[in-house]
Amino acid sequence: MDVTPILENLNDAQRQAVTAPAEPALVIAGAGSGKTRVLVHRAAWLIDVEGLSPQSLLAVTFTNKAAAEMRGRIETLLKLPVQHLWIGTFHGLAHRMLRRHWREAGLPQNFQIIDSDDQLRLIKRLLKNLEIDDSRWVPREIQWFINAQKDEGLRPQHLDDEGDADRRQMISLYQSYEEICQRGGLVDFAELLLRAHELLRDNAELLSHYRRRFQHLLVDEFQDTNAIQYAWLRLLAGDEGVPFVVGDDDQSIYRWRGARVEHIHRFQKDFPGTHVIKLEQNYRSTATILNAANAVIANNSSRLGKNLWTEDVTGEAIRVYSAYNERDEADFVIGRLRDWIDQGNARADAAILYRSNAQSRVLEEGLINSRIPYRVYGGLRFFERAEIKDALAYLRLISNRDDDSSFERIVNKPTRGIGARTVELMRSYARANACSLWRAAAAIASDNLNGRAANAVNAFMSTIERMARETKGLDLHDQVDHVIHASGLVDFFKKDKGEKGETRVENLLELVSAAKSFEPDPAEEMSPLDEFLSHAALEAGEGQADAWEDCVQLMTMHSAKGLEFPLVFMCGMEDGLFPHQRSIADPHGLEEERRLCYVGITRAKQALYITHAEQRRLHGMDNFSQPSRFIAEIPEEHVE
């Protein structure tokens, strides 16, 4: 048999992984080392050389796109279709199993999958039915609690309230939520994984069937598995299965999402006799960039250890720029971008990375003013973000009570008991009387609403009137600061557990920075607030390129994982920003931040710029900062 097509163009370590014996294998695949190629060629080797049927393989990826790409590449390599190969995400494979065995799983045949938004609406309805105050028991907090327990494999009956009344209520709500889902045949994303694990765990015959069928388990991005995913893998592998997992402990950056880097460290203990293979040859970056990345990540103590290297050129030194402030930083980045573009390079080959979403505002502003098209990858432009639009709607309504679109956006945000029926009454009255919603609200609160609804509408209108009085005569940035707090938006998003809520609060505070930096035009015959609102509306509509257009890429470090660019800027490299303030005192958190820095560095193929500012106005405050400790970890010989 000619194995040349499968083994050609593989380096020694890749070949060792592809042809590994039928025993558990842990492939530590460094950034840019060709891990997808190894998984594809391993599957082809098992099918074409070892003679296994495609249906005896199970391949797990972390995105549907990656699954489709892997299947396509396997079929191209083998020159035949592999329709019986189970390949997909953990959620997709769990769903497939539950559809086949719905009765054993305790589900109706036509069970419905609900997404995150559907789940949140269900929780809100539950609170309303139980007459529980959703300002005290925040729906997103309850959603986070339920999903976190499921990700750990825990049902309500497994949980101890630990003598805490609030925790007891959370467990009770979890129980009630489960009952509603069971009655309605509803399955959320976390339930897919938990229910599929329980299906196999509690059905010995079914488990035996799948263990016999799936002799080889291939898992990509193993460092990102959470507790229930790893438990599912261990259960399915049993003592006879052959797990072949590929991951990089140095790129584990999703602890806040439940990922457990320790699964890589536990794997050898849970699967005795594991072959450990390290892919260290990098096909992406210059030697200088790799040496910098190696030096930074070497400061982490809990890692298996590897050293990236390349046969490529040494490359140019990493350039570190110390800016006076965030505007000077943006000007520097845009200046270097202009040089890059003027040399005939594509704009899409350049990426600007940052730790916090709020940092994008000043960079976006500079790109718009310089007429350089850009795209925020995996996110929205600053002035398009929901929380910013909410705050601007409050400011517009304060300026103009007859602004119907702003009124509708915030009349019940944060939630204050003004439901859809009440809003429809306002709309009907406004249409019938050719007036604004504000005037309609005042009218129906007096004549058409019951006491509770009328009180809620009157309280909202009083809040707007009070904020208008209290902000009169204040400087623009103080007006914005007052409104985001007095409206309840900051407190509302603070209650949102996890990184999403924190990001929204940071963005609201960054709006204060935007107002503080805004310079009104003396020639304009409007108030500074109205001019700022006009500026925000115009910025929201400019600069953002279409997906197909050649444009500079802006993104967070987390969004950059898996991507690569010839030119990369890592901005805001200051202690307190990156590493993030909340991680500095937490050894585990600091190591995760360093892994995130490693991911950022290894996105660059040819040129890398690292920038930091001595003074930064961020989240509405002026801060004096020290350069990130990660910069000092890069050897001087690699820095210019």
Q: Catalytic one among 221, 249, 329, 593?
A: 221
Catalytic residue (choose from 150, 284, 603, 629): 603
Active-site annotation holder among 35, 37, 150, 385 = 35
Q: Is 495 a catalytic residue?
A: no
Compute the distance between CA of residue 581 and CA of residue 566 in angstroms, rounded to an integer. Answer: 30
Tell me if residue 160 falls in helix, strand or coil: coil
DSSP element (H, E) containing 186:
strand 186-188
Q: Is 603 known to be catalytic?
A: yes
Contact of 361 with 350, CB cutoff 8 Å: no
The span from the CA of 594 to the CA of 252, in Å, is: 10
Dist CA 365 CA 292 (whole Å): 31
C-beta separation of 287 from 578 below 8 A: no
- What are 374's strand-pairing partners? 544, 552
Report H helices in 64-201. Answer: 64-78, 90-100, 116-129, 139-151, 165-184, 189-201
Which listed residue (220, 250, 365, 403) is catalytic? 220
- For residue 35, indicate whether it is catalytic: yes
The SS3 call for residue 242 is: strand
Q: Is 161 a catalytic residue?
A: no
Environment class of 592 (CB within 10 Å of its CB; exposed 0-12, middle 13-18, buried 19+): buried
Catalytic: which of 16, 19, 36, 463?
36
Residues in CB range of 123: below 8 A, 6 or more apart? 139, 142, 143, 146, 173, 177
Largest pairwise CA distance in the chain: 87
Write down the catalytic residue from 14, 215, 229, 251: 251
Asked about 119 being catalytic, the answer comes back as no
The answer to whether 220 is a known catalytic residue is yes
- What HEC string does 372-432 produce? CCEEECCCCCHHHCHHHHHHHHHHHHHHCCCCHHHHHHHCCCCCCCCCHHHHHHHHHHHHH
Q: Which residues are catalytic?
A: 35-36, 220-221, 251, 603
